[in-house]
């Protein structure tokens, strides 16, 4: 019984020693360090979420721009066909050449 009683007194003394003012004051830097780690961990999680949102928004914008590029490119290719060009400029009074163009040569130019 006495050894059991001594153990209980030893346990009480141990807890009193851990919970006294001086030992708590010694542990404050460690607790502050743990609090700082918790803040950094939370910040890192929020930063990762924000980065993922930015990447997905940029990806969506890129897909929209690619689709717009493809549609504009198709329109330009369609409108640049000779038949489309002829049809477009016909109201302006322009017609397609039937004969080959005449090359003008400067008579003052000397040939080497």
3-state secondary structure 25-72: HHHHHHHHHHHHHHHHHHHHHHHHHHHHHHHHHHHHHHHHHHHHHHHH
Q: What is the pTM of this model?
A: 0.55
Q: Measure CA of the first residue to CA of the last residue in the chain; give whole Å.
A: 128
56-81 residue pLDDT tens: 999 999 999 999 999 999 999 988 88
Q: What angle is formed at CA 57 by the lines to CA 73 and CA 68, rounded to 5 degrees?
A: 10
How far apart are alpha carbons 107 and 90 in whole angstroms?
35
79-112 residue pLDDT tens: 888 888 888 888 888 888 888 888 888 888 766 5
């Amino acid at each position: 019984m006495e050894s059991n009683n001594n153990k209980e007194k030893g346990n009480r003394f141990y807890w009193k020693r851990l919970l006294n003012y001086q030992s708590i004051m010694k542990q404050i830097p460690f607790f502050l360090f743990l609090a700082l780690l918790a803040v950094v961990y939370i910040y890192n999680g929020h930063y990762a979420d924000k980065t993922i949102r930015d990447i997905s928004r940029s990806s969506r914008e890129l897909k929209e721009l690619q689709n717009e590029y493809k549609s504009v490119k198709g329109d330009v290719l369609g409108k640049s066909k000779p038949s489309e060009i002829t049809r477009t400029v016909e109201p302006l009074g322009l017609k397609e050449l039937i004969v080959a163009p005449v090359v003008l040569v400067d008579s003052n130019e000397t040939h080497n």
